Amino acid sequence: MTLLWNFIILILIVSCGATPLRGHRDAKVSYSYVDEAGTFTLNRETKLIDSKLVTRAQLLDKKGGSGRLLEKSVMLSRIGSIRNGSTRLLIVRPQASEYTVWIEGKKYVSRMQLVPGKRAMRMTLESPETKWQGTSEVPVPKAKYLCFFGQLPECLARSNLLENARVLEGRRFDFVIVWDSYPYIQDLLTKTGQKLFERAEVKFDGEINGLFRYIVEVDEQVISYQFTKSFELVKVAWVSQGITIAPPGQEIVEDE
């Protein structure tokens, strides 16, 4: 067990006696994850205790029923608020993450942690490649809203961006994505994840078959998210990357 995961566990233990935030329901859901390499199983688990949002994800190989682990991640963010004129905005602030991927049988690890007292994210890389080793600090850009990419559904919902975009249909809301899989995402995906922080936009795209659909635009690419009316994630379609995420049996996401 890594130091970062120990840190996250400690935070949760300290908070165990606290009451979860109202309106939140912890979730543990399995999806079918489809890309050009085949069909896999994506397990996502989210917990919210006090003001701490924790998301864990695992991508498993379904071939032969082995359930071989291909990727895993854990992300910790803190929910708070900032002043905006005479009002306050609810925000979600990325605090720490750990991402592990196996590429051609070799292990690659990326750990991030917000540096106390500094507007910077400390990134530690462990890999068999020299270019992806060591520790560095990356300045955090000024922005009201920041979200780990792997925690995007919960972050956008908790920041009220999904609700605001639905009410103000047609308006785009700006935020910053933190690529928790950086820098390995550059090898895993095409023409994306060039920087740790990337500016993005989200807008409401209508109601389809009882689900709310939202469009996220980042790095000149479009990702479609579908949610229940209580903002629980149902489907994802990232056409340019050939990726769809859906409940088992609904792997083919049509352009509805």
DSSP 199-211: EEEEEEEEEETTE
Residue 65: the pLDDT is 62
Alpha-carbon span 158 to 31, nearest angstrom: 22
Q: Are strands 87-103 and 211-218 parallel, antiparallel or unpaired?
A: unpaired
- Is residue 184 within 8 A of residue 103, CB to CB? The reply is yes
Judge if the upstream peptide bond of residue 183 is cis by omega within 30 degrees of 0: yes
CA 45 to CA 252: how far, in whole Å?
23
CA distance 201 to 205: 13
What tokens does 229 get?
């009316």
Report how far residue 55's alpha carbon sits from residue 46's, in angstroms, rounded to the nearest whole number. 4
Tens of each residue's pLDDT in the chain, 256 residues: 455 555 454 444 334 433 344 344 678 999 999 999 999 999 999 998 888 999 999 999 977 566 799 999 999 999 999 888 788 989 999 999 999 999 999 999 999 999 988 999 999 999 999 999 999 999 999 999 999 999 999 999 999 999 999 999 989 999 999 999 999 998 889 888 889 999 999 999 999 999 999 999 999 999 999 999 999 999 999 999 999 999 998 765 444 4
Strand pairing report for 233-238 and 221-227: antiparallel
Of 112, 210, 218, 100, nearest to 156 by C-alpha is 218
How confident is the model at residue 138, as a pLDDT?
Answer: 97
Report pLDDT for 190: 87
Strands 146-148, 173-178: pairing kind = parallel
pTM: 0.88
- Residues whose CB is less than 8 angstroms from the CB of residue 203 and which lie 6 or more positions away in sequence, other chains included: 165, 170, 171, 172, 173, 214, 215
Residue 115 is which amino acid? V
Using left for φ > 0, alpha for ψ between -120 and 50, and beta otherwise, residue 193 falls in left
Q: Residue 109 is encoded by which pair of tokens?
A: 């690890």
> 């994630």: which residue's tokens?
233
84, 98, 156, 206, 218 from 47: Cα distances, Å: 28, 16, 15, 28, 26
What does the alpha-carbon distance between residue 23 and residue 95 come to, in Å, rounded to a whole number? 22
C-alpha span between 12 and 20 (Å, rounded)? 11
Cβ density class 61-95: b for 16+ within 10 Å, e for less: beeeeeeeebbbbbbbbbbeeeeeeeeebebbbbb
